[in-house]
Amino acid sequence: MNDFRKMEEHAAFKRCASFTITHPRKPEGFALVNVAYPADGAGRLTVFVVDAFGPSRTCASGSANGYGYDKLTAALSGFSIDGVKLTDHCETDATAARMLKRARAGEPTAKLLNGKGRAYQFANWTVEGPGSCYRKSGLDVLRALGYRVIQAI
């Protein structure tokens, strides 16, 4: 058995993940998100977020527990990385409300989803157009804004 396989099958590595976040226009900055998954589906997931995009490095932790939902996104909700707020699923804000109003008034949704609008998504479509506009959740908002999110473990 080679070392890659040993690592992949090691019990400790089955319950953890590590994400490195970079941005192509900020070569000196980075963030780390380290995750400790629970032993079972109902246990507590813990995250540690290190943000080193600014002049100082910060570290914070959060957690989520329960069964049957995306605990990683829930645990990351409320954190900021490089000033970008991470949210849970289906969260809205003033920008989402403005985008929804403009879409309902007939403005093309493709135009609205350019620039910072990439951090949002329309949902619940009807014949009149989108019924909702949400901010993308968890690490997906960073991906949408051009950050590289690399899962190392």
SS3 117: helix
What's the mean per-residue pLDDT of the chain? 91
The predicted model gives 62-90 an average pLDDT of 92
The predicted model gives 45-53 an average pLDDT of 96
The predicted model gives 21-30 an average pLDDT of 95
Residue found under tokens 């380290």:
34
The predicted model gives 119-138 an average pLDDT of 93
> Looking at residue 35, what is its pLDDT?
95
Counting residues of the chain whose pLDDT is more than 90, the rounded percentage is: 71
Model confidence band, residue 1 (pLDDT cutoffs 50, 70, 90): low
Does residue 15 register a pLDDT over 90?
no
What is the widest separation between alpha-carbon atoms in the chain? 62
Model confidence band, residue 129 (pLDDT cutoffs 50, 70, 90): confident
Nearest to 60 by CA among 29, 73, 52: 52
> Looking at residue 12, what is its pLDDT?
75
pTM for the model: 0.87
C-alpha to C-alpha distance for 153 and 151, rounded to whole angstroms: 6
Long-range contacts of 69-74 (CB under 8 A, 24+ apart): 70/137, 70/138, 71/38, 71/45, 72/35, 72/45, 72/47, 72/138, 73/137, 73/138
Give the start-to-end residue ranges of the domains of the chain: 1-88+138-153, 90-136
Model confidence band, residue 95 (pLDDT cutoffs 50, 70, 90): very high
CA 17 to centroid of chain Cα atoms: 14
